[in-house]
Structure formats: structure tokens, C-alpha cells
Structure 1
Amino acid sequence: MSEIQTIDYELLFQHAPVGMCISERRIIRSANRALAAMFGCTTEQLAGQSFLMLYPSSDEFERTGARIVPIMNVNGCYSDERIMKRANGELFWCHVSGSGLVGDDPHAAGIWTFDDLSAKRPVTAQLTPREREIAALLVEGKTSKLIARQIGMSPRTVEMHRAKLMKKFSAATSSELVHRLLGVQQQ
């Protein structure tokens, strides 16, 4: 039998093939190299910064923060796909997953992973913050009624935004819109 070696968790964290960070009250306390590269900055530039710098708008930052609390309170973790913003202003689709480290306070501390989806799903249309939010929920397979309930607006207003998205993506059906949002080529 070989001798048990001490595991260097900092080394594993820094060299993980997916973007990772540790957060406290929505402030990035430590970020790995993959996360810094994904967002076009250094780990030092990310440390101590609010997650706000990674969002296309402060409104999206606030709404996402509010949306994850009830889900994390029930599940202890959260995952979605959303449009994020690199340091140079470029928008891109990103899969975000996180786990709270303090059971009754999801924002107290957490560990988060980020996976850049831009190679499979480019952002191809100029979208408003609300359209980005609705697009992300459509990609999750949610109906207009569920989206309306989740983000606190009327189903009719969600349908209006869906219609604008369909026009921007030249989609004839909701299914085609979702495929275009996902970057899937239909045959």
C-alpha cells in the first residue's frame, strides 16, 4: 500500500477545468483561473468584487439574487443557464450552479461553478434585460404561465416578450425559438 498523501485543495481549485468561485454575500472571495479566463480578467481582479460585475445589468443581478433564494432554501443548491457579461462587455450564455454553505441563508456563503456555453450557443440577437431573463426561463422549458408566476408579471406580458423574441430570432414557433436560443440547428 502506498502512503496517503495530503490533498492540496487550493491546487485542485485553481486548476479545475470549470470556472469556480467561493462567495460571501454575493461577493467573490476567491476565484479560480478558469473563471478569470472566462470573464477576461485575473483572479486578483475578481477577488473582493460583487457578482454584479458578471451580469449584463444591475436589474438582472438583483432579480437573479431574489429568484435563487427560495430555491436554495428548499434544495440547498441552484442551477440555471443565463446570459452573463465578460470584462470587455461581450455577452455570452453560461451554465451557473451553486451550493449554499450556510443552510438557512443562501447568500451568506457559497461555492459556484460557471461553464461557458458560447461555443454551442452564441448570443445572436440584441436583447433587453427582461428578454434575456425570459429567454433563460424558456430554455429551461417553462411555460409563459410559469415564467409569469416566477418573475411576477402577467402571462400576457410574458407572451408579448416571447413574441418579440420570436421576431428577433426569426422563429415561427415557440419550439423553433427555444432551438434558436439553444443554438440548435433545425433540419
Structure 2
Amino acid sequence: MTERCPWCGDDPLYVAYHDTEWGVPEWDSRALWEKLILDGFQAGLAWITILRKRDTLREAFHGFDPERIARYDEADMERLLANPGIIRSRSKISAAIGNAQVYLDMAERGEDFSDYLWGYMDGAPRVNRFVAMSDVPAQTELSQKIAKDLKKRGFKFCGPVIVYAFMQAVGMVNDHLVGCHRHTEVTK
């Protein structure tokens, strides 16, 4: 029997996410931005809720194209608020729009989002060696630092807990438990 981090349980969608995506280093700027937006939508909810709605969210937000989202107007806001397949929070939708604008502002200034984020890691993932879920922190000094800078730039829904969950998901840190079959695979 394959050992996994216990947080994914036995839900097939969660298991597939754990086994193929979570903790795998992501280097693509647009993909990183999308994941940060999805983590913002998760605030106050379980990640499985976002996974179940991810395809609908992608469709509703035009494939998470930051150039399109940055131009959303009140009609787009109303369209999104009326969509039962997504997280219908005006503040989270508004944050996604504003975050698209900040992302594009960074790009216009020649600042690559991936380089910006991975610069905090000196370009390489941090491999942790946690044995139990109780060992894994909800936030770290580094996630606090990144969250503070993101907020200073104008990003919303990116507090230190959200940022740490994001860092785990995109492989900036490898927080698969050492007994999990993915710990070694992701480390490679």
C-alpha cells in the first residue's frame, strides 16, 4: 500500500492532486499567478472545495488570463456573482481582478513573477523533513515576508497562511511527509 500525506484522505480527486501536482516545483509565471489566485479563493474554505470548482473557475475567469481579468468591469463582476459553479464572493472576485492588474504592472516593469517568487528561495525548493502533520507549520517567517511584500505591491487575499499553502502547492517547499511516497519523488 502506498503511503501518502494524510491530509488528502481517500477522495480520488484529492489523491490525484496530491500524487501529481502538490509540491511539484512550478516555474511558469502565469501558472504561479493562477495558483495564487486559487489559494486566495480558498480563504476560509477547504482546498477540496477549490479543486472541485477549479475547472469551472478557469472557465468563468477565461482560463485565468490576467490580461482579460485585469479589464473586468461591473458586468463581469455580476456575471461571476451569478455563477453557482464558482466561489461567489465579491471581495475574492474583486481581489482576483486587482491581482491581475498588479501582476501585469510587474510584467510591464520587467519583473517576472516566477523570478520574483523563486528569488525568495534562491532559485531552489526547500526540502523539509516533517514526520507528522503536526510538524508542518501553517506559516513561516518566509511566508510572512513574502505576504508582506505581495500586499505592499497591492495583492489581496495573500496573507502568510495563504502564502505558505501556496508555497507548498507550487513546490517552493517540499512538505510531503518523509513517509509519503511523493517526498522522495518531488525531491528529485
Same-fold status (TM-score > 0.5)? no
TM-score normalised by the shorter chain: which range applies?
A: under 0.3
**Bigger helix share:** 2
Greater RCO, 1 or 2 (C-alpha within 8 Å, sep 6+): 2
